[in-house]
Amino acid sequence: MHDILYSPYIVPLGAFVVGIAYYGFTTWRKVRERELNHESEMRQKEMDHQQKMKTMDLDIARAKESKRED
């Protein structure tokens, strides 16, 4: 165990591992941010769609009611 700690390869390997970990975490954070943005956009589109559907239902109901009155 003592020889492993004083190996000339431990520092370069450690730096390599830290670099890989940093890259992985930053990539994960960017992907997560994009995912959250996409999710909020989809939620907004869904709400807009529901609003349009309600408006269309009201228009249809008004058209039917005005047709009955004629």
Six token digits for residue 28 = 């994960």
Q: What is the pLDDT of residue 45?
A: 98
Reported in sequence order, the residue ranges of the chain that DSSP labels E, i.e. its strands, are none
User: Residue 60: which pLDDT band, with cuts at 50, 70 and 90?
Assistant: very high
Q: Which of 27-31, 50-54, 63-67 has the lowest mean pLDDT?
A: 63-67
pLDDT given for residue 70 in this prediction: 63
- Which pLDDT tens digit goes with each residue over 5-33? 788 888 899 999 999 999 999 999 999 99
Q: What is the C-alpha to C-alpha distance for residues 17 and 28, in angstroms, rounded to an integer?
A: 16
Domain ranges of the chain: 9-41
CB 33 within 8 A of CB 27: no
